[in-house]
Amino acid sequence: MANFNLADYETVEERIKRFYETHADGRIVTHDYTSQFDRESGVWRVQAMVFESSADQAANLVKATGFAFEIDGTMGANKTSALENCETSAIGRALANAGFSGNKRTSREEMEKVQRGVTPGKPVAIPDGFRELITGAQTMDELRARWDEAVAGGFHEQVKQLVDNRKKALSV
């Protein structure tokens, strides 16, 4: 177990509140950079940008940015809300880059992942042509065999949504 106290870390919500107390006319803008390929793989990518005022936003004078990456189906919030979790993480990182990091640069949410032992690893690459095997499956047995291959290969989380979509199509 990691040796740290979560109470020593500020939440992203606290950072947002402090930012708007200091910059009442400030803006935090997010952009979902997730591609269709990413979505099919269960991966989310978000950028957050911090502007100190609406005039800065109009002039595209970004104070700071932050990026985040999350994977569907892992622990905690990512079971149901990976995109939202990714956006919150990006905002927390952007605010830290803008000087709103409290006494620690890392947010409490990031440290909660450490405490749970969640270390996002690089997703296992999906073999070339495997997506086509899933979308081309004609029976549930064939789809189940593809799923078993994905589990054995360690890339099942990346194709889960694609398999679920094909399962629905075959059920009709």
* Segments in the chain below pLDDT 50: 1
Neighbours of 58 (CB within 10 A): 10
d(CA 137, CA 141): 9
AA letter at 105? R
- Per DSSP bridges, beta strands 43-51 and 27-32 are antiparallel
Angle between helices 12-22 and 82-97 (to 10 degrees): 50
Q: Which pLDDT belongs to residue 120?
A: 53
d(CA 108, CA 113): 9
d(CA 4, CA 105): 14
Is the whole-model pTM more than 0.75? Answer: no
From the DSSP assignment, how many helices (H) and strands (E) are in the chain? Answer: 8, 3
Question: Residue 2, class by beta-carbon neighbours within 10 Å (0-12 exposed, 13-18 middle, 19+ buried)?
Answer: exposed
User: Where would I find the beta strands (DSSP E) of the chain?
Assistant: 27-32, 43-51, 64-71
Neighbours of 164 (CB within 10 A): 11
Q: Which pLDDT belongs to residue 95?
A: 94
Q: Which pLDDT belongs to residue 1?
A: 45
